[in-house]
Amino acid sequence: MSGIPRSPAPGDRPAQPPSLATLQQLRTQLGTALSPDQALALFAVEGPVCTLLVSDRDTSAPVLHHLPLGLQLLTQRSFQQRMPTPAQLETGIMEVEDAVMPLARLLPAHTLLATRDPLLRHLALQAVGGHAPDLVPAITREAIEALFERLVAQSSRHYSHQDPDRPQDPRAAAALLVLREILHHWQCTHLWLLPDSVDAAP
């Protein structure tokens, strides 16, 4: 497994949200998985705070939501900049729940959740063994939950050696925790992995 891409630390400028034209191309890449009137939500953890960009339909202007949560803050406050213990994971869960639950009521019904975030893409592919054959893979909530359970098992046993099939650093562990919680609280069954570029394959 290759190294996890770096996500910007606080103070780094967050990535610019995609334009309406880019969103239309991304919707096209999703094909029949996304109907013309179905909402598309792009989630990202890069930048000082996590963001959610929601596009209701092909021609509507997207709405960008900033969550009161960032990976750097989560790793500092809940994990103490180390791989988390079981107690620290529980603390992190409560912190993430407080940040993500209010957005659940703002998402239209049957919203398709997707990401172009390099760290989230890496973790999602890690959950399915590092490879997904589809052009735009859809990773199930159950696969993410299973990866999180492996992280919990690792934290409970206090391994000194990091298993390559689990998050390797506190930032990746925090991102996995956030991803697990949004899939649950936003009632999303899958995370769709879109390429960084609209012209690129995953």
**Angstrom distance (rounded) from CA 174 to CA 9:** 13
**Angstrom distance (rounded) from CA 7 to CA 145:** 22
Computed on alpha carbons and rounded to an integer, the radius of gyration of the chain in Å comes to: 16
pLDDT at 3: 41
pLDDT tens-digit map of 42-84: 999 998 999 999 998 766 788 999 999 999 999 999 999 999 9
pTM for the complete prediction? 0.85
pLDDT at 154: 87
| Averaged pLDDT for residues 32-40 | 91
Q: Looking at the domain that runs over 20-193, which CATH code has it been given? A: 3.30.420.150
Which segments within 29-173 are labelled E, that is strand? 40-44, 51-55, 63-66, 112-115, 138-140
pLDDT at 197: 65
pLDDT tens-digit map of 127-165: 998 877 677 799 999 999 999 999 998 888 755 555 667
Which segments within the chain are labelled E, that is strand? 40-44, 51-55, 63-66, 112-115, 138-140, 190-193
pLDDT at 133: 65
Question: Which residue type is seen at 153?
Answer: A
**Beta strand 40-44 pairing with 51-55:** antiparallel
**Angstrom distance (rounded) from CA 63 to CA 167:** 31
Q: In the chain, what are the domain boundaries?
A: 20-193
- The CA–CA distances, whole Å, from 8 to 15, 74, 105, 127, 129 equal 9, 14, 28, 22, 25
pLDDT at 158: 54
